[in-house]
Amino acid sequence: MTAPTTYWLEHAWLGTHVEPGVILTTGPDGRITDLRTGADTPPPGAEVLRGLTVPGLANAHSHAFHRALRSTVQVGSGTFWTWRDFMYKVAQNLTPDTYYALARAAYAEMALAGITNVGEFHYVHHAPGGAPYADPNAMGEALIEAAAAAGIRITLLDTAYLSAGFGEAPNAHQLRFSDGTADAWAERASALKSGGHARVGAAIHSVRAVPADQLATVARWAEERGAPLHVHLSEQTAENDACRAAHGRTPTQLLADHGVLGPRTTGVHNTHLTDADIALLGGTTTGTCMCPTTERDLADGIGPAARLQHAGSPLSLGSDSHAVIDLLEEARAMELNERLRSRTRGHWTANALLTAATADGHAALGLPDAGRLEVGALADFTTIALDSVRTAGAVPRLGAETAVFAATASDVRHTVVAGRHIVRDGAHTLVPDVPSALSESIAALRA
């Protein structure tokens, strides 16, 4: 329970426009109980949030341990597959304790960037060599606890990762990821508990990592619980080629054949798709999570986000490998990538891009009651400065355009989750020194 609080928002983005002078009140249940416009000055006792307040940002795709890869993977050249080899080495050094420390620091960095909910695509389940921990969910529970310590919500997307590729046995690195079968995965995942700041969903790592005859088991587990289901989809052309060789169809078609697609499902990346794939995803209202900073960092390519949305696929955004943690940059990059591809401007309005980063991202993570500044919604919001060197001088009514096309994570001044101030004046209230927490937790993985 959180004490009721009244906030005065200098400017607030209300989904379609920016409104000056908004009074927002939160209740003890962590929801918005009142929202009034037309308040030129703060009422007595109100917390004053100067700048542009928007709903909390949703990071719909995260691998927390990838935060340890930043900079080190920028040396030399290579491909996604050479990058993956380095990622495996870091994964081998994780324990429940070191994972907790790193995730707590990474999630605190997210809070500083205005993120109030993270979708953690979690597949490092077991000890090196594949033996389960005494608590088979020790790693997942460490992530849930880390999010609580950092003050943000988490949707733990517990991931089935069973194969090195289309039936091939897991390699030495992947033994940590595998439960052996989808039924064993389901048994372990069923012991995870939702509640409070945490929700539990499911993920299929990819069509190469879950045999076709076991895809339906994962989909059924999610359907029975009404839980979100995510899947890496067509991130690499090599995966598409291998899927066609093994099954005579694209990964999207394979997922459709086994009942994976649908409105609770989100395909992550959706980069290399056929026209038929796009029609399938849109026709089933399967979501698309774009991760532009990772997709460009790994030279994956530019996904057909505009075509997918036009076909009926809702868009969300994620920071994925955490090359940077900045959802405003992800939103901006999606539009700018499309401009480079098409050589035309204005594929999404600033309002549409903020919706992808807020309401649609939360919906993809099973929180349809978040991502809006309205009565009854979760009291999760963030305030972006309009007087920094990047944002100063803009007309306040164009605050959405300023936030998306000029601001960065460094311009976040406040983050409130469930009515509780997690970031105040740019400082984290629960993790006093986030840079040190990051440095120490990453150094522990190199020891």
Q: Is 34 in the active site? A: no
| CA 311 centroid distance within chain | 22
Out of 125, 269, 322, 347, the active site residue is: 269
Opening angle at CA 265, ends 378 and 175, nearest 5: 105
Compute the distance between CA of residue 162 and CA of residue 166 in angstroms, rounded to an integer. 10
For residue 345, the 8-state DSSP code is -
Counting Cα atoms < 13 Å in the Cβ hemisphere of 140 gives: 31
Q: Order of strands, edge to edge, in the sheet holding 420-424?
A: 32-36, 18-26, 5-13, 47-55, 381-384, 412-417, 420-424, 427-428
Task: Please give the single-letter amino acid code of residue 324.
Answer: V
Out of 297, 300, 320, 411, the active site residue is: 320
336: left (phi over 0), alpha (psi -120 to 50) or beta: alpha
Count how many residues are written for the chain.
Answer: 447
Nearest to 370 by CA among 132, 115, 170, 184: 115
CA 363 vs CA 57, 60, 101, 216, 378: distances in Å = 12, 9, 28, 23, 12
Counting Cα atoms < 13 Å in the Cβ hemisphere of 307 gives: 18
Residue 427 bridge partners (DSSP): 424
Counting Cα atoms < 13 Å in the Cβ hemisphere of 192 gives: 32
Task: Please give the single-letter amino acid code of residue 40.
Answer: D
- The answer for residues whose C-beta is within 8 angstroms of residue 15's C-beta and 6 or more apart is 351, 355, 359, 372, 373
Residues 345-382 as b/e (b if ≥16 CB within 10 A, e otherwise) read eebbebbbbbbbbbbbbbbbbbbeebbbbeeebbbbbb
The per-residue DSSP string of 53-90 comes to: EEEPEEEEEE-GGGGGGTTGGGSS---HHHHHHHHHHH
Q: Are 10 and 50 in contact (CB under 8 A)?
A: yes
Counting Cα atoms < 13 Å in the Cβ hemisphere of 108 gives: 26
Compute the distance between CA of residue 351 and CA of residue 400 in angstroms, rounded to an integer. 6
Q: Is 362 in the active site? A: no
Catalytic residues: 269, 320
